[in-house]
Amino acid sequence: MSTRTFISRLAVGGICTAVALSASACGAGGPATSTGSAGTNTVNVLVEAGGHAELTGVAEQCKTETGVSANFVELPYDGMFNRLSSEFSSGNVSFDVAALDSVWLPSFKDALQPIDEIFTDEAKKDIFPALVKEANVDGHFVGLPAWTNAEIILYRKDLFEDAKNKADFQAKYGYELAAPTTWEQYQDISEFFTKDGMYGTDVKGGVETEWLAHVLQAGSPMVLDGDKVVIDNAAHKEALDFYVGLAKYAPSGAAQVDWAAAQNLFNQGQTP
């Protein structure tokens, strides 16, 4: 049986991790007072544009308990990696803490202050094991999970419960129209609803994490043996064939479609 047969109900991906770059009072186990790069009792926190909402509560609690304020510095996601690389290379770092993509941790590990003392047994019990593992690079914890993403399937009940759609789908595919539980069913549904000006699905070619999620569900990790990137094994090829095959049921220009564009398509009634 293909490893892509069943759709995972909860595919965790795109995990973001808040990384401590220097000592501050805004982390569990941090000192009572601190001076950050922004000045006495203030720390600069680098975040993706629009991404400080998840950390606002933590910042407020930090201010209440320690008197240390957080100054959020927002940058577009596309520019964050280069900004971090440039500042670390120059030694002129303008922030104290950064909320960044966890896949960057190995690249920046030598510039980060370990926060091993934060990862107590009690703390680890409150975090998904995969996130605990990801925060550890070369035997030291250099990041603390701030949030995770879970992929789910949204669908229009009005279309799936429509009597004519149900009858037509049953006649064509030999089983009842319902939310898909396998990728084969997802493909059938995408084909069925590609009609009357509607697309059966979207293909988010502008978001690499969407592609990586398909590869993971095909049964392949991204990296083997610690540092060997894999892109050409059987699982990758299977995932690519499936993903590219969906393009005929999706709007043209898939390479430019990202999460926002896909959401707009759904909200406008162009996908089911």
The burial of 55, by beta-carbon neighbours within 10 Å (0-12 exposed, 13-18 middle, 19 or more buried), is given as buried
61 Cβ neighbours under 8 A, 6+ residues apart: none
What is the model's pLDDT at position 37?
Answer: 52
Quick one: which H or E segment has residue 172?
Answer: helix 163-173
Whole-number Å distance between alpha carbons of 29 and 166: 57
What does pLDDT average to in each consecutive run of 10 residues of the chain (272 residues)? Answer: 34 35 37 46 84 82 88 85 89 86 85 88 89 89 82 90 97 96 93 94 84 81 71 85 91 86 89 90
What is the model's pLDDT at position 159?
Answer: 95
154: closest CA among 262, 16, 54?
Answer: 262
What is the model's pLDDT at position 178?
Answer: 96
- Convert 107-141 to b/e letters by CB count within 10 Å (16 or more is b): ebeebbebbeeebeeeeeeebeeebbebbebeeeb
Q: Which CATH architecture has domain 157-267?
A: 3-Layer(aba) Sandwich (3.40)
Q: Is the dihedral of CA 21, 131, 203, 193 positive or negative?
A: negative
Residues 13-150: name the CATH superfamily. Answer: Periplasmic binding protein-like II (3.40.190.10)
User: CATH 3.40.190.10 occupies which residues in the chain?
Assistant: 13-150, 157-267
What is the model's pLDDT at position 225?
Answer: 62
What is the model's pLDDT at position 223?
Answer: 67
